[in-house]
Amino acid sequence: MAMISESMTSDERVWAAVRLERSDRTPVIPTLLPEPAAGLAGVSQAEVANDNAAAISATFRVFDDYGGWDNIYPGAYIPSQLQAAGVFPMKMKIPGRNLADDIPYQLDEVEIMKLEDYDKIADQGFERFFLDDYFGRLSDMTPEEFQKEKNDMFMGGALFLGECQKRDIKPFFLSNMLHPFFKLSLMRSMVPFTQDLFYEPEPVLRALRRMTDDAIPKVLEMAKGTGISISMITEERASGFFYSPKFFERFWWPYTVEIVEACWSEGIVSLFHLDTCFDKNMSYFRQLPRGSAILELDSTTDIFAAKEVLRDHLCLKGDVPAALLATGTPEEVESYCKRLISEVGGDGGFILGTGCSVPPNARPENFRAMIETGKQYQPG
């Protein structure tokens, strides 16, 4: 493939896609987290799971070795910091601590939150409930250890931004949140949470209301503070794969619209990380303001059908499957990327990315094929 003559900066290219405009080539942003970075950089999972500097070093080593891409996914964390920050409010197993060194960290989903806790969240707000009550059920971390995790996470963020500046590249986003629905599902665990939606909906709705009200100003403050006008919302459980439209409309969609519209009124675009199959939910997203969101799809949602529904309305990002990167051939990866660029990105509004994260066992030659095809292929 011949090199494309580039006439835009990386950031201009990304924002052209977000604004549903054509660009000089398709922007490329793989979801390269520390776990797959470790695999591609040849370091152990234990190293990147216990040391921010090692996680960041692995990420940028891969970025440099594979010729770079347009924006970089922020991966300055170690797993215990995600737990302490309430990003993953779940029990954890971590390589080098209670897992073998070569196994990525694991989330252990058990029922920690109880039915009566919904009203505690509604009364106190999530943060106070999490710090004063819930975290002690989750972890035996001392207050000193907890504070050290927060400090190290902050220092890791500064180190990450320094590496971005050296390369004159921007993070794709820094402001982020789990959708309140998803967070409650993780804390309560899937089956009890689903039973609550059926049999105890009012406490759930009260907690969702309070969490949404508290999240909006926090997200706006984070986005404005970082100067990056994209804010990520992660959701992996609200889709039609799990729940009927009736539940989606009652427990997820109204709060989502509020968050997106509050962000959009301040010029901030919502980046939805949507795992599981959202095929049945795609038409709802047409109700959002044009250009107000990016949908990052994980290869279980039909991205080609999503393009037909959302063409010239919202930007799509994805969706090179993890299985393809782990078990396919470079030729198969190249072929699929070309199809994405032609069919989903042909008229703009598309960012080439991975279906969820690059897998920790991605083949180096397959990852290279994805990056290079994205940067070099021009349809037609």
Q: Is the pTM of this model over 0.85?
A: yes
Q: For the residues 54-64, what does the mean pLDDT come to?
A: 98
pLDDT at 15: 98
pLDDT at 373: 98
Cis omega (within 30 of 0) for bond into 319: yes
Distance CA 355, CA 318 (A): 5
How do residues 236-263 score in pLDDT, each as one tens digit? Answer: 999 999 999 999 999 999 999 999 999 9
Judged against a pLDDT cut of 60, whether residue 44 lies above it is answered with yes
Q: What is the chain's mean pLDDT, rounded? A: 96
The residue whose two tokens read 């039915």 is 115
How do residues 311-344 score in pLDDT, each as one tens digit? Answer: 999 999 999 999 999 999 999 999 999 999 999 9
Token readout for 31 is 């979801």
Overall residue count recorded for the chain in this entry: 380
**Topology of the domain comprising 10-376:** TIM Barrel (3.20.20)
Q: For the residues 279-304, what does the mean pLDDT come to?
A: 98
| Amino acid present at 158 | A
Judged against a pLDDT cut of 80, whether residue 2 lies above it is answered with no
How do residues 293-312 score in pLDDT, each as one tens digit? Answer: 999 999 999 999 999 999 99
Q: For the residues 142-149, what does the mean pLDDT come to?
A: 94
How do residues 161-208 score in pLDDT, each as one tens digit? Answer: 999 999 999 999 999 999 999 999 999 999 999 999 999 999 999 999
Distance CA 48, CA 38 (A): 7
